[in-house]
Amino acid sequence: MTSRRNFLKACLATPLLAATPRLTLANTQMPWTLTASKTTHRLVPGDDYQDASVWTFNQTVPGPELRVKKGETLSVDFLNQLDEGSSIHWHGIRNINAMDGVAGLTQPEVMPGGQFRYQFPLNDSGTYWYHSHAKTWSQVARGLYGPLIVEDESDPAVDHDLVLMIDDWLLANDGTIDEASFGSLHDWAHGGRLGNWLTVNGESHPTIEVAKNSRIRIRLINAANARIFGLNIPATAFLIAEDGYPVPVKSTQDVVLAPAQRADFIVDLGTDDVTIFETGNNGPYPAVTLKAVDSDKPLVSKEVLRQPQPETPPTMIDVSIPLHMQGGAMGNLREATFDGELRPIRELAQTHKKAWAFNGKISHHHDHLAKINIGQTVSIEIWNDTRWNHAMHLHGHHFWIQKEDGTFLDGKRDTYLFGRGEKANLVFVADNPGLWLIHCHMLEHHAAGMAAVIEIT
């Protein structure tokens, strides 16, 4: 296998690519159609590499950028032209449960040749995304994802609004996807499927032209199966939102994004080009370059950014749910309950490809972690008692993060990265009825047992 560093050196030796135009579906002609199908796409530039076989929505990597106004109803017809079942999850949206898109829980898989209409209101503005939620460890890694942007009248005025979906691909020497590595028990029990090739919006180190002295909104989305990205924006940059939720505006150039997390920045460009670097994986590696060009269009006024007024965390908890995470390589899990039977971890791994447990149990969608009454305030008390990081995602809700010392982080999230040994509480108001998945968004960890269901009635 050619090393990731050598892959990136090969990238730097080729001319910079213009950003591939992506279809944007905005506010007209709904219902839109998203079709899952197979196609080919060049991930590694250069004559020495081949096109990769990818799975896509509407034949593009990533899928079409969906832009909708807050308060509108999103209507999408999903058509499945793959040779296996699939579905679409609308990540971060406080959705109607029947529209959440979790195959086997909120809906059956959409089988080959079938279709399903997703239709739901968009009550929160921000940066979200959509992706397959059937056999996610394989389908997302092959390219089945795209951005969903919900705009608000109060959004700060900008000259450019850029969505950057960052992914790593595990490629063979010829630039095609390493098919033989799918389903690797090593990946499922360790850090997940980690790629060796970095793309932004499906391209290797793209260049995007922006006006000199412009104000830019950059929406960063980590679409990787398991890779945690550190990103640096060497310019005047202000963090304004995480996981679509406003946070106190602060001047910073750096952010860490676990799989599925998002971060929004306002960047005030000068007259020089700016290259955003990936810094969290033995880098820095160039990810995308913003090329500053002359423009005749008038620029927006760079007004002082308004501080948001976030919701205050609750002071009283109605229900506490302990969630003890165990398992994985070098872990302390010796046995766990699976299908109603206590089984040794060796059998679970070798026979069932299960390596992780919540509270000593490996659950199915019909096993509920807790049943909650509508309107109750809930604290999921999570202890990451493993040797690995985990990006915990709760469907259908946003939560506050309470650290072990009792303090709360700013804002609310839908995905939180738990470090090794970390304890923290995910606190939310159970105001959305239905069966909601909570799982690790390192997608191989989810497949290997890190998932549970919370029922709200």
Q: Check pLDDT > 70 for residue 20.
A: no
Q: What pLDDT score does 28 carry?
A: 59
Q: What is the average pLDDT value for the chain, to the nearest integer?
A: 94
Q: What pLDDT score does 26 carry?
A: 56
Domain identity same for 288 and 405: no
Domain identity same for 394 and 434: yes
| pLDDT tens by residue, 38-94 | 999 999 999 999 999 999 999 999 999 999 999 999 999 999 999 999 999 999 999
Domain assignment of residue 304, yes or no: no
Q: What pLDDT score does 205 carry?
A: 97
Q: Check pLDDT > 60 for residue 1.
A: no
Q: What pLDDT score does 449 carry?
A: 96
Domain assignment of residue 347, yes or no: yes
Which residue matches tokens 């795209």? Answer: 146
Domain identity same for 123 and 250: yes
pLDDT, mean of residues 354-380: 94
Whether the Cβ atoms of residue 434 and residue 456 lie closer than 8 Å to each other: yes
Element (H, E) at 189: helix 185-189
Q: Check pLDDT > 60 for residue 432.
A: yes
| pLDDT tens by residue, 38-52 | 999 999 999 999 999
- The encoded tokens of residue 409 equal 């982080």
Number of domains the chain is built from: 2
Rounded Cα–Cα distance for residues 147 and 239 (Å): 19
Cα atoms in the 13 Å half-sphere on the side-chain side of 276: 32
Amino acid identity, position 315: T
Domain identity same for 249 and 324: no
- Identify whether 284 is preceded by a cis peptide bond (ω within 30 of 0): yes
In the DSSP assignment, the letter for residue 365 is T
- Identify whether 246 is preceded by a cis peptide bond (ω within 30 of 0): no
Burial 142-178 (b: 16+ CB within 10 A, else e): bbbbbbbbbbeeebbebbbebbbbbbbbbbbeebbbb
pLDDT, mean of residues 118-138: 98
Sign of CA dihedral 200, 202, 206, 207: negative
- Residue 11 — very low, low, confident or very high, per pLDDT cuts 50/70/90? very low
Domain assignment of residue 299, yes or no: no
- Strands 434-440 and 390-394, by their bridges, are antiparallel
Q: What pLDDT score does 14 carry?
A: 34
Q: Which domain holds residue 425?
A: 319-456
| pLDDT tens by residue, 248-283 | 999 999 999 999 999 999 999 999 999 999 999 988
Domain identity same for 235 and 362: no
Domain identity same for 162 and 209: yes
Q: Of 170, 196, 179, which is closest to residue 10 (Cα–Cα)?
A: 196
Domain assignment of residue 309, yes or no: no
3-class DSSP state for residue 300? coil
Domain identity same for 280 and 327: no
Domain identity same for 331 and 284: no
- The encoded tokens of residue 312 equal 């205050």
Rounded Cα–Cα distance for residues 125 and 362 (Å): 35
3-class DSSP state for residue 214? coil
Domain identity same for 263 and 393: no
Q: Of 225, 221, 80, which is closest to residue 138 (Cα–Cα)?
A: 225
Domain assignment of residue 312, yes or no: no
Which residue matches tokens 């971890």? Answer: 345
Domain identity same for 12 and 140: yes
Q: Which residue has the higher pLDDT, 100 or 310?
A: 100
Domain identity same for 92 and 187: yes
- Residue 2 — very low, low, confident or very high, per pLDDT cuts 50/70/90? very low
Query: Concatenated DSSP letters for 223-280?
Result: --SSPPEEEE--SEEEEEEETTEEEEEEE-SEEEE-TT-EEEEEEE--SS-EEEEE-S
Domain assignment of residue 327, yes or no: yes
Q: How far is CA 242 from the centre of its chain?
A: 12
Q: At a CB cut-off of 8 Å and minimum separation 6, what does 304 contact?
A: none
Q: What pLDDT score does 4 carry?
A: 46
Domain assignment of residue 444, yes or no: yes
Q: Last residue of some domain: 246, 277, 293?
A: 293
| CATH code where residue 362 lies | 2.60.40.420
Domain assignment of residue 255, yes or no: yes
In the DSSP assignment, the letter for residue 346 is H
Domain identity same for 390 and 268: no
